[in-house]
Amino acid sequence: MKKLNVRLVQMLIFSIFLVSAAGCGQEKSHSSKTIRVGVVKYIEQDDYINALTDCLRDNFAKKEKTSQMHIVVTVKNGGGKQAIQDRVVEEMIDAGCDILCVDLVDRTAPTKIINMARRNDIPVVFFNRELVREDLMQWEKLYYVGGDAAVSGVMQGEMAADHIVLKNSKKKGKGKYDPKVDRNRDGRIQYVVLEGETGHQDAILRTDEAVGTLTAKGIKLDKVSYEIADWSKDQARNKMTQLIAQKKNEIELVLANNDAMALGAREAYEKSGLSKEDYPQIYGIDGLKEGLAAVASGKIQGTVYNDKEGQAGAIAQLALALIEKRELRDFSLKDGRYLFLPYQKVDREEAVKREH
């Protein structure tokens, strides 16, 4: 009798293990209406990606309410290593995923994931980290959804230019810039770029386009430094603190590839002991809650809204259409595979509006 009880307990533990290890397959009922969506982020903690993933869950939950489908969404992450992400994807496929949504760790190394998906005939919607075209074209069930990164850089540059050049001023040369920005009144803007992760298309294009837009508008720039801060507020704060120690109040403009880094720069100034009049203009990109609040209160001068709702909506709709093998005619796919969502400028007035 005692032996039988031990056996029962063992079986119970084993079945609990099976259910929790199943990932995508957490749902026990295998009715034909159950859809298993596997979402694999590149890392556990990234504010923007987590907010986007929450929107994605909401989208699937809404769809579930208005349809006969039971949609099981499992979110995991690659721990910042491509090899780990490959393994997580493999587990999800083994557990019976119907569709994968993947934010690659290394956007140049999707081959393992593509091969596994293809062998098992599971479509993949990649998002946020754009894989190279040849990879995306390897198989017809691969798609990409993201923001139009170049546009976000242009918008950041345009907002900064609007604040630098004095409105309705006939002055030329040194006097044409707002003295609150060109604080040393040398007719040039001393600037710093805080860059996201090396090799990320958003980092590359945002930097190029923001600086290119300012230059194209005839604004004379002096590059003080480009610092890689990996999308991180802490790293940006540290890098900026070092720069302030070297350059004191010399920096007039900070272009950050995202809001987290813009906020890190602002914190570095707040801790620097410099007076507020000596702070540079700071611009970010993303428009998450904290970024919007900082623009609304004037802590940073602008951000560009990275439409997480739009991107999540597009990923969810595309995923469902692929599972249901529907025609994709209603999606405005570029080259049949890409969906790029627009960005929006957020200055102080717009941020205040969005906060209410």
Q: Is 231 in the site for ligand BGC (CB under 6 A)?
A: yes
Contact letters (x/-) for ligand BGC, 316-355, by CB under 6 A?
----------------------------------------
Q: What share of the chain is helix, strand, coil (3-state, %, to 5)?
A: 45, 20, 35
Give the footprint of ligand BGC on residues 128-157 (CB under 6 A).
128-129
Please provide the DSSP assignment of 121-185 as one string. T--EEEESSPPPHHHHTTSTTEEEEEE-HHHHHHHHHHHHHHHHBPTT----GGGGB-TTTSTT-
Please report how close the Cβ of residue 312 comes to ligand BGC at its closest, in angstroms. 13
Please report how close the Cβ of residue 85 comes to ligand BGC at its closest, in angstroms. 13
Please report how close the Cβ of residue 43 comes to ligand BGC at its closest, in angstroms. 8
Euclidean distance between CA atoms 295 and 292, whole angstroms: 5
CA dihedral sign of residues 245, 248, 250, 256 = positive
Please report how close the Cβ of residue 232 comes to ligand BGC at its closest, in angstroms. 8
- What is the number of alpha carbons within 13 Å of residue 193 lying toward its C-beta? 23
Q: Is 306 in the site for ligand BGC (CB under 6 A)?
A: yes
* Six token digits for residue 353: 């509006």
Which region, judged by CB under 6 A, interacts with ligand BGC, from 46-54, 131-139, 181-189, 238-246?
46-54
Q: Is 286 in the site for ligand BGC (CB under 6 A)?
A: yes
Placement of tokens 């720039």 in the chain? 221
Please report how close the Cβ of residue 246 comes to ligand BGC at its closest, in angstroms. 27
Euclidean distance between CA atoms 337 and 356, whole angstroms: 37
Which region, judged by CB under 6 A, interacts with ligand BGC, from 4-12, 30-38, 41-49, 87-95?
41-49
Residue type, 133: R
Which region, judged by CB under 6 A, interacts with ligand BGC, from 9-17, 18-26, 45-53, 297-305?
45-53
Q: Is 285 in the site for ligand BGC (CB under 6 A)?
A: yes
Between 177 and 305, CB nearer to ligand BGC: 305
- What pairs with residue 303 in β-bridges? 346
